[in-house]
Amino acid sequence: METKVAIIKDIKKDIKFIEEAAEIIRNGGTVAFPTETVYGLGANALNEESVKKIFIAKGRPQDNPLIVHVSSKDISSLVKEVPPIAQELINKFWPGPLTIILEKKDIIPNMTSANLDTIGIRMPNSEIALKLIELSKRPIAAPSANISGRPSPTEVERCVEDLNGRVDYIIGGESSDIGVESTIIDCTVNPPMILRPGGITLEMLREIDSNIDIDKALKSKPSNDLKPKAPGMKYRHYAPKAHLKIIRGKNEKTIEIIKEMLENYIEKNNDVAILTTDENLNKFDKGSVISLGSEKNLSEIAKHLFEALRKCDDLGVQYILCQGFEEKGVGVAIMNRLSKAAGYDIIDV
């Protein structure tokens, strides 16, 4: 399949590319496009055959439902009911990185919702994404634009790397600012429950309803006794090719242990990358050291996380040693993605 790649430099001057992509969506094709969380791979959410192409292009398991992207806060044509709490969340956080789970209307095919009676909906906060949805005149189902299991793309080059030849169109033009996927909140239960942590934090959501909590199953490695409620959260995900290990604890001790492990791996002729902070960057004199950003700014760490994992693969290292981050604010999402990427290989020191 031939993939066209277009980079939007100026949305007004380059509108023809978005028009072209919108036509592809209307005609049943697939388009990768930027959003503020990560890049998405989109197709007409209301057409089974179109949506199927997303699963095939990504190699995504068919029991993993897709999030439907809209360009308006009025979602009454897609869901049975918008309870007051959901409406409040929409008013407060859309457009933005919050996916809301509601009971779906029959207009949404089972392929999109992976046979669930519910559907996740989000209005992205990206000019290009909103224009694409608006011009295509369809809600767009879009998971992250990576081959299933790989780190999500936050740069257009990574979409091309994964999806060139597998999709019809790739639009670039923005790096993803948030860097981790949307927060998912289930509003079919009372109080609503967070099924995936993301850019909208628990603290922010509790300002709307102090009873909102996070799915307990997200705290540990998924098991038969404790399965996450979002079907996708049970899979190994976001994973680089190298073995990723997380070292978590007090800063000085963490550095000491990372150095020890580093020596050990290098002695055995392994190439090793270290993911750390600006503040710790100079504390390592071996291995490929990459900073995710300042420890004082967890949003910056989130933004750089997936790209850093992909850079480690570019370097061809066998091991990645990454320090843990404090689980508050967006730190909860960072540690969720890191834990999954590491297959829960976490060393507490």
154 near Mg ion, judged by CB under 5 A:
no
Shortest separation between residue 119's beta carbon and Mg ion, angstroms: 16
Q: How many CA atoms lie within 13 A of 344 on its CB side?
A: 10
61 binds, among ligand AMP, Mg ion, none (CB under 5 to 8 A by kind): none
Burial class from Cβ neighbours inside 10 Å (0-12, 13-18, 19+) for residue 210 reads: exposed
Encoded tokens for 107? 């207009």
Binding to ligand AMP by residue 111, rule CB under 6 A?
Answer: no
147 binds ligand AMP, rule: CB under 6 A: no
- The count of C-alpha atoms lying within 13 angstroms of the C-alpha of 203, restricted to the half-sphere facing its C-beta, is 8
Should residue 71 be labelled a site residue for Mg ion when binding is judged by CB under 5 A? no
182 binds Mg ion (CB under 5 A): no
List the single partner that 184 binds among Mg ion, ligand AMP, none, CB under 5 to 8 Å by kind: ligand AMP
**CA–CA dist 21, 29 (Å, integer):** 9
φ/ψ (deg, to 5) at 119: -145, 145
Minimum CB separation from Mg ion for residue 272, in Å? 27
Which positions from 116 to 135 touch ligand AMP by CB under 6 A, shown as an x/- string?
A: x-xxx---------------
Q: Does 15 bind ligand AMP (CB under 6 A)?
A: no
Total residues belonging to the chain: 349
Is position 312 an interface residue for ligand AMP (rule: CB under 6 A)? Answer: no
Stretch that binds ligand AMP, among 25-33, 59-67, 218-226, 341-349 (CB under 6 A): 59-67
Q: Sign (positive/negative) of CA torsion 24, 29, 30, 36?
A: positive
Determine the Cα–Cα distance for residues 41 and 293; give it in Å rounded to an integer: 27
Residue 2, exposed/middle/buried by CB under 10 A (0-12, 13-18, 19+)? exposed
Cβ nearer to ligand AMP, comparing 171 with 273 = 171
Residue 50 near Mg ion by CB under 5 A: no
Cis amide linkage into residue 192, ω under 30° from 0: no
For 203, list phi and psi in degrees, rounded to 5: -60, -45
Q: Which residue in this structure is represented by tokens 């793309």?
A: 153
Nearer to ligand AMP by Cβ, of 62 and 294: the residue is 62
- Residue 276 or 339: the one with the smaller Cβ distance to ligand AMP is 339
* Shortest reach from residue 234's CB to Mg ion, in Å: 13
Q: Using CB under 6 A as the criterion, which residues of the chain lie in contact with ligand AMP when the complex forms?
A: 64-65, 67, 101, 113, 116, 118-120, 143-144, 181, 184, 195-196, 230-233
